[in-house]
Structure 1
Amino acid sequence: MSVKLDVRLESVGTRFRLFPQPRFLSAFQTPETVYISVPPEEIKPGPADNRMIVIDAINKLPYSRFFRPPYIGAKNPPVQPSSDGHFDHLDIESREFSCATMYATVRRVLDIWEDYFGHQIEWHFEADFSRLELIPLIEWNNAQSGYGFLEFGYGRSITGGIDRTRPYCQNFDVLAHEIGHSIIFSKIGVPENSQEEHLDFWGMHESAGDLVAIVASLHFDTVITYILNKSCGNLFTVNELDRVGELSESREIRIAFNYKRMSDVGAEPHDRSVPLTGGIFDVFVEVFQKELVNNGLITQALADLSNSGPNQSQDLSDIQNRFAAAYKGNEAGFKDALLFARDYLGQLLAITWSNLSPNHLTYHTILRGLLRADRQITNGEHQDTIRTCFAWREISLIPGSLLLRPHTVQECGLTAGPDFVDGLIERLNQKDPKVIEALQQILRDKPAKKKKS
């Protein structure tokens, strides 16, 4: 979402409070006030609007292929707004707050990505349901997204049971990741032949969910401030931005900043998604660093040192100290550069995803889509950056691709010797023998060489 739109929503949108990252993390124990695009007068108790509705189900079992929306069982009363139509008054320890958080997170992520796409994202289940069903708290140590619904339980305890202190509906990254799947189903669809193997399709799906969450999390001022203060702009380090789906202080579902290449991962979609996410994250960070260099905030030499990959000869402490010196006193400039890179990444992904086909999709197809999108956004300013990042990740054509096959002149039937002439004569002879005689005279009779005097 552009900075201008975010500012405008403060005057017309509805207020909620969200935890930018799981509240059990020491740095994010205070919720941040955010605004969603739906005005207070258009939000119904629940919360609900014309695109989604929260249903606080009672004693509900998880949906399955035998049990699907709409939910018609017992439920708690819908959450009510305050007298001014906002929802930022709710006690953060209450069940009502969890309901409002789930709604606001999904709506906020949708607002962000609809701005990047430039239009409303229609639900992939619109043929059957007009609204997304949001079920925030069921007695389950898991969470899932499905056709027309999102339903969340709780995190798992050490013994594998339910940990009610960690409701998934308050985990912004997990919710954003799941709504990311819905966005991709809407924009790209599914392969026509479901029986075929589509490793890259499902790897792309998981990567897209992570990237939707990463970009959305960068719309929290507390997240941006924390990242920059902790890293001093040296984003090629492990930080809160790249820890997707945080489960504890030291454990996360996947890490966006990683050194995984395609030769390091297998066929499982989550595992296979890591190099793709890493490559795109690398592009994002390099664009951020280019902006810092262009604005005179760091030197090109420092940027080159920090993004040279795993290199034992690097003095990581020296690199970090140099970033810290550059960051001090220039915090606003670093923040502007990060927001610039964030919005570039959002646009890049929106354009790329809008033009992908699900059929026979490969990571190489995504690479070409990113290059085309960059040409559309910046007239090709970051072409070499994208190519280099993906080459390092070993993302290229699959072995045996027809695009790698050379085509000889002979295979194309364009032999330049007598065989070509004979073939031409044979073809033309079927039409007009007189023309053939004339062509034969022209093509075969060599002019006599002039004798030297």
Structure 2
Amino acid sequence: MSLELDRRLAREGTRFRIFPQPRFLRKDDGSGPLFPEPEVVVVSVDPTAMRAGPGDDRMFVVDAVGKLPYKDFFRPPWRGSSRPPVQPGADGHFDQIDPASREFSAATMYATVRRVLDIWEDYFGRTIQWHFESDFERLELIPLIEWDNAQSGYGFLEFGFGRKPNGTIDHARPYCENFDVLAHELGHSVIFAEVGVPASPLDEAVDYGGMHESAGDLVAIVASLHFHSLVDYLLESTKGNLLTINGLDRVGELSDSSEIRIAFNNKRMSEVGDEPHRRSLPLTGAIFDTMVEVFQQDLVAKKLISEELRERSTNLPGSALDLAEIQAGFTAAYLGNEAAFKESLLLARDYLGRLLAVTWSNLSPDFLTYHAILRAMLRADRELSGGANAAIIRSCFAWREITPVPTSLLVRNHTVASCGLESADFVAAQPADQQIPVQRPERATFISPRMI
């Protein structure tokens, strides 16, 4: 999201409060909550256009009573009992609500979804129309049902609670207050709206499924970087050495030691199967690495770190001594240049957001492959930067073994003979009295996947 848009929203939007990460997460030394207070955010809806719930013309909260999770034959809208809608303060804003109240859970669920949608519509440069628009005008948000799970579906998001170690519901950990989980689920809606779904029943959609899960994680990662408190914590704890285990790469943290997936990972395509969540890891890792390397490239351009330090930090793994020396180099460079490091990280964040928006806008869901995503990303980079980051993108994807499959027509060799040219050229070169008629082989008929 551009800084100009943030400034405009501060003047015109509606205020809420959101915890950047779940409030139960503790500092590394165990001294207290990682984020003890929610952060004020502003959504793009004017207070005069807000509806109680909260709600607006795109989405609304209904705090359902006695609701079971939606199933295939039990879908929106909810027609049962619900608690009274959350009301704004006298000034039309919702930032006065007590974080210990049930009303806060409803308000923060709306604010999270609305904020993430604002961020990504800014990157796309247009309204993201719901994929369920033929049936529903607005997205239904259900914050707190008695269920140890959460789900997104056709026209709705509904969230329950986390689990205790014994498997029972943990009411102290509502999913609707977990920014990353909500952002991830909204990411699926973005992909359904902007990429669509495969049309052919013959399409096994293996890479499409992995792309969907990866996109959800990336929507959450980029959106989380719009919390200044999280960005400041991230840089202060890493000193800009982002190719370490850090708060940014843990997506959807469910406890102090558990998260849904890790963006900073070493998984390659040869190490994952077809299960969508596992298959998403190399793609997410390649794109996460791209953002980090663009960030570090900007640091080098501004002479904040050396090219040698950048190369050492991006060519991991190394020995414990190597890692310590790399961290020491970043620490020395960061101290006294905190604002400049933050500016470079926000520039890399916005570059990645725009890069993904352009890439996703130009993908076909039919027989999608990771290699097609790579090519679309290179085209997006040419559109955005004139190809300035192409080498970074290629190297990050190559390390993850994201290449055309061996049987792809893209990598098939075409000789003169296979093109039916060698025999004709040979005949034409002979004296007329020595020419022998040559029977051309019949051309193979190529059947595209769409025709099968």
Same fold (TM over 0.5): yes
**Residue 183 (structure 2) pairs with residue 176 (structure 1):** yes
1:313 & 1:245 partners in 2: Cα distance? 29
Identity percentage over the alignment?
Answer: 64
**Residue 98 (structure 2) pairs with residue 96 (structure 1):** no
1:141 & 1:419 partners in 2: Cα distance? 77
**Residue 301 (structure 2) pairs with residue 311 (structure 1):** no
For 1:16-415, what aligned pairs fall within 5 Å after superposition?
A: 16-25=16-25, 26-312=33-319, 315-415=322-422
SS of 2:277 mapped into structure 1: helix
Cα drift, residue 196 of structure 1: 2.7
One-letter identity of the residue aligned with 2:181 = V
- Cα–Cα, structure 1 residues 349 and 425, in superposed 2: closer, same or farther, change >3 Å? farther
- Cα–Cα, structure 1 residues 81 and 419, in superposed 2: closer, same or farther, change >3 Å? same
Q: Does the 8 Å contact 2:203/2:366 carry over to 1?
A: no
One-letter identity of the residue aligned with 1:174 = V
1:170 & 1:344 partners in 2: Cα distance? 28
Cα drift, residue 111 of structure 1: 0.2
Note the alpha carbon deviations across 1:167-211, whole angstroms, 9 max, x for none. 000000000000000000000000002453111000000000000
One-letter identity of the residue aligned with 1:8 = R
Please give the root-mean-square deviation of Cα atoms over the aligned residues, in Å. 1.6
One-letter identity of the residue aligned with 2:427 = P
SS of 1:28 mapped into structure 2: coil
2:220 & 2:390 partners in 1: Cα distance? 25
Aligned to 1:448: none
One-letter identity of the residue aligned with 2:411 = L
Note the alpha carbon deviations across 1:340-386, whole angstroms, 9 max, x for none. 00000000000000000000100000000110001111100011111
1:420 & 1:285 partners in 2: Cα distance? 58
One-letter identity of the residue aligned with 2:261 = R
Note the alpha carbon deviations across 1:112-159, whole angstroms, 9 max, x for none. 000000000000000000000000000000000000000000001111
SS of 1:395 mapped into structure 2: coil
**How many residue pairs were aligned?**
426
Gaps of at least 5 residues in structure 1 are 428-453
Cα drift, residue 249 of structure 1: 1.3
SS of 1:240 mapped into structure 2: coil
Task: From the CA coordinates, give the structure whose radius of gyration is larger.
Answer: 1
One-letter identity of the residue aligned with 2:95 = D
1:385 & 1:406 partners in 2: Cα distance? 27
Deviating more after overlay: 56-65 vs 255-264:
255-264
SS of 2:367 mapped into structure 1: coil
Aligned to 1:435: none
Q: Does the 8 Å contact 1:17/1:32 carry over to 2?
A: yes
SS of 2:243 mapped into structure 1: coil
Match of 2:427 among 418, 422, 426: 418
1:175 & 1:295 partners in 2: Cα distance? 36
Gaps of at least 5 residues in structure 2 are 26-32, 439-452
Deviating more after overlay: 351-360 vs 309-318:
309-318
Cα drift, residue 247 of structure 1: 1.0
Q: Does the 8 Å contact 1:414/1:420 carry over to 2?
A: no
2:378 & 2:178 partners in 1: Cα distance? 33
1:311 & 1:85 partners in 2: Cα distance? 54
Deviating more after overlay: 127-136 vs 250-259:
250-259
Cα drift, residue 412 of structure 1: 2.0
- Cα–Cα, structure 1 residues 194 and 174, in superposed 2: closer, same or farther, change >3 Å? farther
Deviating more after overlay: 2-11 vs 64-73:
2-11
1:247 & 1:77 partners in 2: Cα distance? 29
Cα drift, residue 317 of structure 1: 0.9
- Cα–Cα, structure 1 residues 390 and 157, in superposed 2: closer, same or farther, change >3 Å? same
Cα drift, residue 161 of structure 1: 1.2
SS of 2:99 mapped into structure 1: coil
1:314 & 1:193 partners in 2: Cα distance? 53
Cα drift, residue 39 of structure 1: 0.5
